Amino acid sequence: MKYTYLGRTGMKVSRLCLGTMNFGPRTEEKEAFAIMDSALEAGINFFDTANVYGGGPGGYNGWTEEIIGRWFRLGGGRREKIVLATKVYGNMNDETDGPNSGTGLSAYKIRRNIEGSLKRLQTDHIELYQMHHIDRHATWDEIWGVFESLVNQGKVYYIGASNFGARHLAYAQAAAGRRNFLGLVSEQHKYNLLCRLPELEVLPAAQELGLGVIPWSPLGGGLLGGNILKPTAGGARTGQAAAGLTDAQRTQLESYAGLSAEIGESESNVALAWLLSNPAVTAPIIGPRTLEQFESMLKAVEIELPADALKRLDEIFPGPGGYAPEAYAW
């Protein structure tokens, strides 16, 4: 496994981040434990989750954190070896919160939610506590005030963002600077070959501000995973996605499959290697449902795509044309 610093911090994380969103609803606990054990054995020290993961039909918010907590309880240095990231913002459906049970980043909500996450995760601290979305109502004085307190108490080491626009990153860091507080160290953002809009502003802003970029949905919701054109191999969900493809999308994915075959790598690993080739990217989040899926993705960190392959990927999946404003102005 390869490692890099998380933004401008002195903390090192693996170049692949284990995403756990499937744990519980789509991956039973025994399989989740096997995936986490294999990740640790492979050198992945960066695990990502969220307080709301596990929710939805047949599940409940917090289920995924509970699974991770029970895995930590197995001992063997599991907790000590992991850089753990979780998130706050979503509705935890806690009836005791009354009108404050919805989404947001109030000091009230953050303080209550951190305690819930710590309990479920069976730990006394979280290395990277991330805001799952922006809150357009809470002020940065309120938000940074509570996060400073959590850092000072040792309950949280670093603060990250997710789904922030470039301007929100700038606002956040400007407000933190006025308080002489470190502020954000990372931005977790949707970014893949099919979604390249972040190249306009989010990625350059993160680089200039010294933030690590942690891409989520690196396989475009499975479209870049290699099974979309072979629905019988991918199951019902993949079959439904394949049926919804336009002719243009199908042609695009066929070209991508052909290029991956020429390179001699799976489509999923080419998609991950493309992200890893970007100097703005810290670690893509992989979200395997099975141990087999997890093991197939490990090779991505070893793949160095040649210049001609990167050029062809740009031709198949055109980006926005570069950074703003040059991408659309002079």
User: Catalytic residues, which ones?
Assistant: 53
Neighbours of 306 (CB within 10 A): 9
**Residue 264 burial by Cβ neighbours in a 10 Å radius (0-12, 13-18, 19+):** exposed
Instruction: Give dist(CA 133, CA 22) in Å, integer.
Output: 20
Q: Which residues contact 237 (CB under 8 A, 6 or more apart)?
A: 222
The answer to whether the CB of 128 falls within 8 A of the CB of 214 is: no
8 A C-beta contact, residue 40 and residue 32: no
Q: Phi first, then psi: give them for residue 239, nearest 5 degrees.
A: -60, -40
Residue 5's H or E segment, with its range, is strand 3-5
318 φ/ψ angles, rounded to the nearest 5 degrees: -60, 135
Distance CA 218, CA 286 (A): 7
